[in-house]
Chains A and B, each alone.
Chain A
Amino acid sequence: MNFGFTEEQDLLRREVRKFLDAQCPLEEVRKLMETPDGFSRALWKQLGELGWLGLTIPEKQGGAGLGWVDLVVVLEEMGATLFPSPFLATTIAAAALREAGSDAQQARWLPSLADSSCIASLAFLEPSDRWDAAGVALAGRAQGKGVVLSGEKVQVLDAPSADLFVVAFRSGNAISLAVVERNAAGVTVEATPSIDQTRRVGRVRFENVAVAADAVLSEASEATLARVLDLATAAVTAEVLGAAGAALQITVNYAKQREQFGSPIGRFQGVKHPLAEMLVDVESAKSILYYAAWCLDERDPDAARAVSLAKAYASEAFARIGVDSVQLHGGVGYTWEYDPHLYLKRSKWARPAFGDSDFHYDRAISIGEQ
């Protein structure tokens, strides 16, 4: 048994942290979140050059061919600094292409995702708010060998800047995935105002959008889709836990510094206890997530249950940490200038994203019963 990161993974973590500390500290994040795009195109390009965008993309498609355990390392660091970029969205879309696309389809799109020339996003959720295949109602009508898509997707990650959507649709009982370019006729994208300004989401409408046969992913099925969602959920959870850990760290630092009643507030049990509980939560959720990522890489049958437990635990813990870190900062926690609110707002986005804790706890129990 060896439940730990390798030296290389630790090195990768250090590299990512150094890069983000230098290129995109929180002051920079604050500037970017006020811009229309919400992220830096220059840094985006660098992510491609550094090879991080291709981290999980197969080597023959221009990537590094690494796994989800490696990805977790990168996403935790990005979460910690609330790094605004379509990295998560593009990585998830790449996973969908890889899981459900033919070799030819992968060769057609993945290289452009790896080298940053294309921003992509998985368009899954609909107004039904269901994170499983049964929630997909967007209709794909057969036309010649291709399909015509009609329907609506919501909360699509980075929709405002995406060049390409991987869209889940239904034809009869079958669920499938289609690749649709943003500027295809009949596609409209509308940014959705989000409580978390460091994360952009949008609504995408499809009105009789014609998709050629070779843009319908050939291996897509309910099973591949479920796996894509598990991969996506694990990725989001990694980011969540990076952010939760950082919010905790900021709060611990403040508690050591701020004095009241003649002593740092961190000496009071009323402050120590919530901090200790936060730490236990973050570390426990991380452990479950690491196991889940390993299962995903190994295609272990326990992956789905582990992913659901990790997401359920992590998003609840982060929600609590977001609130407590504002509270433990006292008055300054209420200000724009101090950082806790940025994390609190991220936690509000993260809680329902890719399934909230009710959904994932239910799912974990049902899987366990099977």
Chain B
Amino acid sequence: MDFHFTPEEEAFRSEVRAFLDENLPAGANANAPAFLAEWTQKVRAKRWVGFSWPKEVGGGGASIMQQVILKEEMAKRKAPPLGTCFMGLAWVGPAIIQYGTPAQKQRFIPDILDGKYQWCTGYSEPASGSDLASLQCKCVREGDEYVVNGQKIWTSIAMWSKWIILLVRTGGLDSEGQAPGGAMRPASKHEGITCLLVPMDTKGITVRPIKNMSGGSMFAEVFFDAVRVPVENRLGEEGQGWQVTVSALAHERSSIAEVEGLRRKLEELKELARKSRKNGRAALEDDGIRRRIARFEAKIEGMRFNGMRALTKQLRGEPLGTRSGWRSLAALRALVARSRNRRRHTEHPEEHHRRARARPPEGLMSTEDRVQRIESLLREKLGATDVQVVDESHKHRGHAGAAGGGGHFRVTIASPRFAGLSLVQAQRLVYEALGEMMTHEIHALTITTRG
């Protein structure tokens, strides 16, 4: 056990500190747009944006220790972020580097490093949150294109993003028995998932912001209506999407730098407690407050040393379990959610298997039967007073989706159950009511609800 750094590492630390002394002088307004623009250029010139990425793609090719030192020093000085394309740098870029074609790397990586535009992440769906692998956003191949129909939700910054990294279902348990292109039906729901990179201005994409608890909007619903995506925008192989997104974590993730940020926050908290009054004296002199602050300090130190142990493992070349994602803090929250899903999934294999068994292949219904069944399900389960079901499958005839057997329907439905419900809630009800049909009989659904 040794907590010292090598001379090279110390030299690098000095370099970073000197850079910060020069470019982030005390009192600089680090939030001013002009300052940020200049800062971004400077750190980019240093190759500190995408510092862990290989040099060939424009990254810094840094060692793990260098990454730790850079992040730590930046956090200590409350420096602005290294690069502005948050999700691009955090997981889209790493996934492209690992699984992308040379053309994809060339097309996307420089823009991510330069922060030319934002990426958003289209994983969660109304019915698939923790159980992400049950996602149902439908995708079929038609020649050189994929056609996507479905919905994503909670997509952070969708309204300001130029591209979305999208998980769709091209096969597996929730799709037609056979995946397009004659592929065999995969054995698990993880295997029918494909990752696509899609421009947000593609025809058929609609973004609807969701008001969050603070009254603002940071995330949105994203609807896909016959969205056509060139096959060359697929990341990784068809059916490999789960792997592509879950393993794109190859960069340093000991969380030591995040802990540094927390330590700084703790200092700010102490300062606040020094200035505020509680029970007639400085809050920092209050036993209760002192104990609570000390508890935070213990937790933070625990995280920091956990991080060092994880880092040591990583340096020795031992694989880091997905558990190290657990230590990640705010900046990696979405990744944590994902690894959490995975863990839960593996902790509940019985659910998984029950689900797998519950889906026998079946003979498909005629279109008339489907329309009738949709109507009767909606009337019966939602007490719908008015239901109109229009079969739009003809519009899609010849498409791979139609060949798969599921129909395209436009449903207009009025039900007192919708009164006071939001669109999301109402649509959830409709999907629930039609649950049994979503597997094979319905390929895509356009829903209009009235209260």
Contacts and interface: CB of A to CB of B under 8 A. Distances in A.
Contact of A331 (B134, B154, B422): B154
Contacts of A265: 130
Given A261-B351, A361-B288, 18 more contacts: A27-B420, A129-B278, A259-B127, A260-B130, A261-B130, A261-B344, A261-B348, A262-B358, A331-B129, A335-B210, A335-B213, A337-B210, A337-B422, A344-B213, A356-B288, A358-B287, A358-B289, A359-B279
Nearest to A267: B351
A135 to B, nearest CB: 6
Contact count band on B: 35 or more
A258 to B, nearest CB: 9
B280 interface: yes
Interface in A343-370: 344, 356-359, 361-362
Interface in B383-428: 420, 422, 424-425
B150 to A, nearest CB: 17
Contact of A127 (B277, B344, B351): B277
B107 interface: no
Contacts of B422: 337
Contact count band on A: 20 to 34
B239 to A, nearest CB: 21
Interface in B241-280: 276-280
A183 B53 CA distance: 67
B222 to A, nearest CB: 13
A196 to B, nearest CB: 12
A262 B213 contact: no
B9 interface: no
A131 B278 CA distance: 10
Interface of A: 27, 127-131, 134-135, 259-263, 265, 268, 270, 326, 330-337, 341, 344, 356-359, 361-362
Interface in B414-451: 420, 422, 424-425
A32 to B, nearest CB: 16
Most buried by B among A27, A332, A344, A357: A332
B202 interface: no
Most buried by A among B213, B214, B277: B213
Contacts of B345: 261
Given A260-B129, A261-B131, A358-B287, A129 B277 contact: yes
A259 B428 CA distance: 11
B352 interface: yes
Contacts of B420: 27
Contacts of A268: 348
B213 A135 contact: no
Contacts of A134: 280
